[in-house]
Structure 1
Amino acid sequence: MHIPCTKESSNILTYSILCSNIMKISFFNIMVTLMCLLLATLTTMAQGQGTRVGFYRTTCPRVESIVQSAVQSAVRADRTIAAGILRIHFHDCFVNGCDGSILLDGSSSEKTAPPNVPLRGYEAIDAAKSQLEAVCPGVVSCADIVALAARDAVVQVGGISWQVPLGRRDGLVSQASNTVNLPGFNDPINVQIRKFADKGLNTQDLVTLVGAHTIGTGGCVVFSYRLYNFNNTNQPDPDINPAFLPQLRALCPNGGDGSTRVGLDTGSVTSFDNSFYANLRNGRGVLESDAKLWSDGTTRPIVQRFLGVRGLLGLTFNVEFGRSMVKMGNIEVKTGSQGEIRRVCRSTN
C-alpha cells in the first residue's frame, strides 16, 4: 500500500528510523556487555580464585627463572627428585588448600603423617626460597614456589610447561591429623571420586592427576598385600597381570622389607609420559587405587581416551595434566591479607 508523503507521515517515518537505530545500538551495547562479562568469567576461571599469571611481574620479575634454576639443579643431581617435588604440591593442596603448610617443621606437622614421610625435594624449595629472599625479600610465598617447582619438575623429566597462576599466601597451621582425607593407595574409585570432588575436581581431573604416577615409586608396604593375600583370600589381586606378578614378587618378597621402592610406571619411571595408562590397561598397575582406574567402568573410558582408543574423543595427557594442575593449584588458596609470606619455608614468621 502506498503511503502519501505528508508532513505527518514523514515525521512518523523519521521516528521509526530513529527508534530502529536506537534499538540496534542498544542491542549492540547489550551484546558487547555480554561478551565482556563472558571474557571476564573465562579469565577468572583460567586465572583461579584470587591468583593470576604474572602476579610478581613488577614486585619480583625473576621469580620463575630462579625457581626453575633451583629445580633444574636438584633434578640434574637426582632425576628421581622430580616425582618428590610434584608430590609435595599434591599433598599440600589436598590438606588445608595450597598454602605451603606441608613445608612446616614440627613434631606433629603434616610432614610427620605416614603418607608424607617418604616425600623428597624439600631442599629444592628451600634453595629457591633462599635465593628469592636475597633478591626480593618478603615478596614470594612458599606456596607459590611449590606450585612453580611442581611445574618445573615435570618439565625437567619430559613433560610440557603450563602457565602457573600465582598470588597464594602461606598458611599458619600444619597438623598431621589433617592428612586423613588424602587420597589413599587402596581407595575404591567411588571414594577417590568423592575426595577429588570435595576439592572441586571432577572425575577427568582425577584420572589425569593420578597420571602423575608416571614418575616416582611406591614402597612395598603399600601394595605387597595385593601380591599374596588380597582381601584375605591367600590369592593375588586379580587385576594384576599374571605375567607381571613374578616381577613384583621378586621385588617385594612375602614378609620382606616394606621400605623397598618400586616404580609406579614400570619401564618409564623417570620419564613424564602416558605409558602409565598403557600399564593400567595391561594389568601392570602397581597400586590398587591406580589399577582400579582401569577395572572400574566409571574411569576406564577416560583412561581409554588418553590411550587414543578408536571411537572415543582422544585426550592429550600433557595438555590435560597442565589444565588439571591449574585447577588443583587453586584449591582453597589464601590470598590478600590471609596467612603470611614466610621468610623461611620451614617455619612461620
Structure 2
Amino acid sequence: MASTVASYRINYTSLVNLLLFLSSLLTASSDLSFNFYAGSCPVAEFLVRNTVRSASSSDPTIPGKLLRLLFHDCFVQGCDASVLIQGNGTERSDPGNASLGGFSVIERAKNAIEVFCPATVSCADIVALAARDAVEAAGGPVVEIPTGRRDGKVSVAADVRPNIIDTDFSLDKMIDAFSSKGLSIQDLVVLSGAHTIGASHCNAFDGRFKRDSKGNLQLIDASLDNSYAETLMNQCSSSSSLTVSNDPETSSRFDNQYYRNLEAHKGLFQTDSALMEDDRTRKMVEDLASDEESFFERWRESFVKLSMVGVKFGEDGEVRRSCSSVN
C-alpha cells in the first residue's frame, strides 16, 4: 500500500508540474487554448485521431512519417502547415523535403473535418494533432496540446536548407538550430527520441561508410557498433535509396529503446551518436535510457514546445480550404 501511495504522489506531482508548465506556455501564446474548437468544431480532434489510427493500422510507417512532418513544418516558418503547400518553389518541392510522407493522412483528416465544420480548423492544427496522435498510436504517451494555430500564406523552398537539421550535424550545430527555435538542449535530447519510430533512406547516413574499389561498403565511423554497422552495410549495399528502420530493436513502437540503442553505439545517424559522445548530453541519454516514464513525461513537455514554435495568429495566417494550397 505504501509503495502504491508513493507512486500516486509521484504521478500527481508530475501532472501538476506539467499543468503549470503548459499554463506558462499558454500565457506566452494567449491565442492558443485547450479545446479551442469546443464550440466551433467539437469533433475536430476525434476526426484527426480516428484518421491517424486508421491509417496507422494499415501502414505501420505512418506514425513516423507524421511525426517527421511536424518537425519539418515547425523548423521552417514555424508550425503553420507551410510544408504542405504544393507548387514550384515551395518548401515541399525542396530536395530536403523529398522524403517526407504522411501528406495524404493530413488531407483525409482535413476533408473529414470540412464536412462537419467548413473553413474552421487550420491545417497547422491538424498537422500538430496528427503528430501527437501518431505517437499515441505507436504506444507512446497521451499528450494534450493547445490549438488555435493559423495556416501560413508563404512557403519558399529557399527557407528549407538553412533551417532543417542534417543528419551529420555536430552537437554544437544542433544546439544552435534548436536554440534558434526557442528549444533547449534538453528538448534536443528528448525530441531526438522521435527516432524510436520511423525509417530512413540509406543515403541519410552514408557518410558513416565509404565504398572500396569493388563497390563494397566499409565502415569509417568508429563511433558505430561494428555488428550494427555490418547489418546496415548489408541492407544498403545495393542501393542508397533503400530504407532501414531508425530503431533496429522496436521499430514500430514509441518507447525509450532509442536511448538504449545509443548506449550500445547503435544510433543510426551521426547526430544520434553525437548525443552519447558529448558530456553535455550523455547523462541525459543515460537517464532516459533507464526510465521510460521519465522519457514520456519529458516528451510531453518538449513536444508541446515544439508544436508552438513560430505559430501564427489572426491576419498573419488563415484557415485554408485545402491544405495543399493557400486560399
TM-score of the two chains, using structure 2 as the length reference? 0.88
Partner residue, 1:182: 164
Letter in 2 for 1:43: S
Query: Which residue of 224, 243, 255 maps to 2:227?
Result: 243
Letter in 2 for 1:45: L
Q: Which moved more, 1:187-196 or 1:39-48?
A: 39-48
For residues 95 and 316 of structure 2, the distance between their equivalents in structure 1, rounded to whole angstroms, comes to 28
> Any residues of structure 2 matched to 1:54-69 within 5 Å, and which?
54-69=35-50
| Correspondence 1:327 to 2:305 | yes
Shift of 1:44: 3.9
Partner residue, 1:263: 245
> Any residues of structure 2 matched to 1:226-241 within 5 Å, and which?
226-228=208-210, 236-241=220-225
Partner residue, 1:214: 196
Q: State the aligned residue count.
A: 301
For residues 100 and 289 of structure 1, the distance between their equivalents in structure 2, rounded to whole angstroms, comes to 26
For residues 252 and 184 of structure 2, the distance between their equivalents in structure 1, rounded to whole angstroms, comes to 27
Q: Which moved more, 1:166-175 or 1:292-301?
A: 292-301
| Correspondence 1:165 to 2:146 | yes
Letter in 1 for 2:310: E
Q: Deviations over 1:108-127 (max 9, x none)?
A: 21112223111111111101
Structure 2 unaligned segments of length 5 or more: list them: 1-18, 212-217
> Any residues of structure 2 matched to 1:110-189 within 5 Å, and which?
110-180=91-161, 181-189=163-171
For residues 54 and 61 of structure 2, the distance between their equivalents in structure 1, rounded to whole angstroms, comes to 12
> Any residues of structure 2 matched to 1:16-165 within 5 Å, and which?
43-46=23-26, 49=29, 50-165=31-146
- When residues 41 and 71 of structure 1 are mapped into structure 2, their CA distance, relative to the original with a 3 A threshold, is closer
Q: Deviations over 1:317-340 (max 9, x none)?
A: 122112111001111110123211
Shift of 1:41: 9.2
Is the Cα–Cα contact under 8 Å of residues 67 and 149 in structure 1 kept in the other structure?
A: yes
SS at match of 1:243: helix
Query: Which residue of 173, 181, 190 maps to 1:199?
Result: 181
SS at match of 2:109: helix
TM-score of the two chains, using structure 1 as the length reference? 0.83
Partner residue, 1:342: 320
- When residues 294 and 77 of structure 1 are mapped into structure 2, their CA distance, relative to the original with a 3 A threshold, is same
For residues 167 and 22 of structure 2, the distance between their equivalents in structure 1, rounded to whole angstroms, comes to 35
Query: Which of the two has higher C-alpha Rg?
Result: 1
For residues 301 and 182 of structure 1, the distance between their equivalents in structure 2, rounded to whole angstroms, comes to 26
RMSD of aligned alpha carbons: 1.8
Runs of 4+ in structure 1 deviating by more than 4 angstroms, as ranges, are: 39-42
| Correspondence 1:283 to 2:265 | yes
- When residues 337 and 56 of structure 1 are mapped into structure 2, their CA distance, relative to the original with a 3 A threshold, is same
Q: Deviations over 1:111-149 (max 9, x none)?
A: 122231111111111011111111011110000000100
Partner residue, 1:301: 283
For residues 226 and 41 of structure 1, the distance between their equivalents in structure 2, rounded to whole angstroms, comes to 39
Q: Deviations over 1:148-175 (max 9, x none)?
A: 0001111111111111100000001111
Is the Cα–Cα contact under 8 Å of residues 26 and 32 in structure 2 kept in the other structure?
A: no
Percent of aligned positions with the same letter in both sequences?
A: 39
- When residues 139 and 202 of structure 1 are mapped into structure 2, their CA distance, relative to the original with a 3 A threshold, is same
Shift of 1:184: 1.0
SS at match of 1:210: helix
Letter in 2 for 1:85: L
Q: Deviations over 1:165-188 (max 9, x none)?
A: 000000011111101221110000
Q: Deviations over 1:198-218 (max 9, x none)?
A: 000000000010110000111
Is the Cα–Cα contact under 8 Å of residues 157 and 271 in structure 1 kept in the other structure?
A: yes
Structure 1 unaligned segments of length 5 or more: list them: 1-38
SS at match of 1:149: helix
SS at match of 1:303: helix
For residues 140 and 161 of structure 1, the distance between their equivalents in structure 2, rounded to whole angstroms, comes to 21
